[in-house]
Structure 1
Amino acid sequence: MKHLALAALAALLLATPATADPDRWRAEWPNTDFTTTSIDDWSEIISGGPPRDGIPALDDPSFHPVAEEQDLAPLEPVIAVELEGATPRAYPIRYLTWHEIVNDEIDGRPVAVTFCPLCNSALTFDRRTDAGVLTFGVSGKLRSSDMVMFDRETESWWQQALGRGIVGDLTGTELQSLPSWMESWGSFAARNPDGLVMSQPTGHRRNYGANPYVRYDSARQPFLYRGEEPPHGIPPLVRVVRVGERAWPLSRLMEEGEIREAGIVLSLAGTQASALDTSRIGEGREIGSVRVRDATGADVPHDVMFAFAFHAFWPEGAWMLGG
């Protein structure tokens, strides 16, 4: 298993990025309409190393009760999805690190739970569109270090950080973002003793629980990123809380504990282990967990991502620095 993890890491981190060229991709993507796109400069899209489906998305995952979970460390991060009227579900980052997308259905609602390690972006989308229900895979391509997803129905390409089609028939289509957040397994389990947690995927040999991106969030530069650095002297790999086109530095929230601005409330909700620090995900250094709610107390879709990624996809976005 150790050798498999090292091989996966080598494929992912040591591959030489290839410049985007739609003509070269047509053999691999015969059903993708490259003439329909919002991309002005194809060099923005590069290979991250693995081929199409080289990082296999998961479909129809299995779950077990919170009380039966034995492998997750208390501070190990999970993505919590708590939709109204549905049993809360936890999706451990130890699985999403290796699969990046989970196509699931919660009380009849098709959802895609996604995690891009290079941007620390964890977002959940409704898979229903005017074109029908979509299922997503990992294309193996990156844009500003963010995962480019594809749907298996039209083979259009989607920017994970935006939840928007960028190449193909569904260019410009936006997925509905659903409230979800990263927190520690201990916090989720304490709040949801009757909840469910995703079981370890079957049919895949991965070193689940290991982090193939050791010390990544302490690096000076993001991997395979060619864009501008964030403004205001903010280091590229600082975490920010993004809500719409605004970003609050996590460090500010850590200092203030709660921020009430722009009609929303950002609150600290304990701590979790960084998934991008030590070799074991559950043993990473502690970082803050975040909840974002509106004036009524309802959860608001948001993302805790790296500053460089916010600047790349929202270059005119507002930096909520306080003071």
Structure 2
Amino acid sequence: MKRTLLALATTFAATFSAALPASADPNFWQYEWPDTDFSQTTIKNWKEIMSGGPPKDGIPAVDDPQFLRQADEAGLEPRESVITVALEGQQARAYPLRYLMWHEIVNDRIGDVPVAVTFCPLCNSAIVFDRRTAAGELSFGVSGKLRNSDMVMYDRETQSWWQQALGTGIVGQLTDVKLVELPVWMESWAAFREAHPDGLVMAEPPYRRAYGMNPYQNYDSSQRPFLYSGENPPHGVPPLMRVVRVGDAAWTFDRLRAEKEISENGVTLTWVDEQSSALDTANIGGGKSVGAIRVRDGAGKDVAHDVMFAFAFHAFWPEGDWMVN
């Protein structure tokens, strides 16, 4: 029987943790990251940084994605999830989770906009950032580190570390720099094809990976997140309940499923479709149904948001607003 990536990472992480000194500190991490400036950081407790299993670039980011016309892609299943990026004046692009599951970051350019398409499977967090900063244009890789079970990215230009859920530098020269989050959403492949007949879809990357298979089987039915020792969310919200985060507020999928449309806090959230969970069954396209959500402002424009697990929202926004009723 093949072991899942999650099982392998759990074994690796347990071994790695046992080998850690009693108090991990920048001097420890400096051996692996000699070009990272650890004197600049927002991390107060270095024990928050853990190995997720693979080393730096052990999960390889994709840097030169290729695309097909959506009509020419026959390998995706109708219900499987894609990240839709539809920038003004550009053809819409679909980034299938079957690829992001194994790469977590895609460095792309859409027109004149350099973007980082990111997905953290352990938090279900799919965020697309503009790669331009005051320090210049950046490209990102996967550090192999986790904080509150969320991916820690790094930029290749300064070797600074970035928290994916926050889009903020947390260690290094670019500490406290904030990336601009773009208004994108997750939806089914069928919904993308219907909405964007002239759209493009990312082609399969040239790596040997089990694309279409979920290495984190049954993860979103777990009682506890992987490598997370923080508090559970308040209000009795299960840790792995999906929530929609807009700024520092979160709405649970339970509420959205019941009400279908919610208008408050200056935005309207709409349950528009069903897609398969990429973190359920072995086959990404065959997972249980979860909602596809759109978030728009009063003028009907798409709003940047994230669909993440409740524990991650609570970990990174401990004072955040829970829009539970």
TM-score w.r.t. the length of structure 2 is 0.96
| Structure 1 position 230 matched with structure 2 position 233 | yes
| Structure 1 position 180 matched with structure 2 position 184 | yes
Work out the CA distance in 1 between the residues paired with 2:298 and 2:140.
33
Aligned match for 1:283, one of 278, 281, 286 = 286
> Any stretches of 5+ residues in structure 2 without a counterpart?
none
Aligned match for 1:122, one of 122, 126, 142 = 126
Match runs of 1:1-323 below 5 Å = 6=3, 8-15=5-12, 16=14, 17-18=16-17, 19=20, 20-202=24-206, 204-322=207-325
Contact kept? 1:11, 1:50, Cα under 8 Å: no
Cα deviation digits, residues 53-87 of structure 1 (max 9, x gap) = 00000102000000001110000000000011110
Contact kept? 1:60, 1:105, Cα under 8 Å: no
Amino acid at match of 2:122: L
How big is the alpha-carbon RMSD for the aligned residues of Structure 1 and Structure 2? 1.2
Work out the CA distance in 1 between the residues paired with 2:269 and 2:10.
34
Amino acid at match of 1:14: T
TM-score w.r.t. the length of structure 1 is 0.96
Cα deviation digits, residues 78-130 of structure 1 (max 9, x gap) = 00000111100000000000000000000010000000000000000000001
Cα deviation digits, residues 182-240 of structure 1 (max 9, x gap) = 110000011001000000001x1100000010000000000100101001111100000
Contact kept? 2:81, 2:97, Cα under 8 Å: yes
Q: Which shifted more, 18-27 or 273-282?
A: 18-27
> Any stretches of 5+ residues in structure 1 without a counterpart?
none
Work out the CA distance in 2 between the residues paired with 1:8 and 1:267.
33
Work out the CA distance in 2 between the residues paired with 1:314 and 1:187.
31
Amino acid at match of 2:10: L
User: Percent same amino acid among aligned pairs?
Assistant: 63
Contact kept? 1:267, 1:291, Cα under 8 Å: yes
Work out the CA distance in 1 between the residues paired with 2:94 and 2:10.
28
Work out the CA distance in 2 between the residues paired with 1:232 and 1:198.
39
Q: CA deviation at 1:8?
A: 4.2
Q: CA deviation at 1:251?
A: 1.1
* Secondary structure in structure 1 of the residue aligned to 2:254: helix
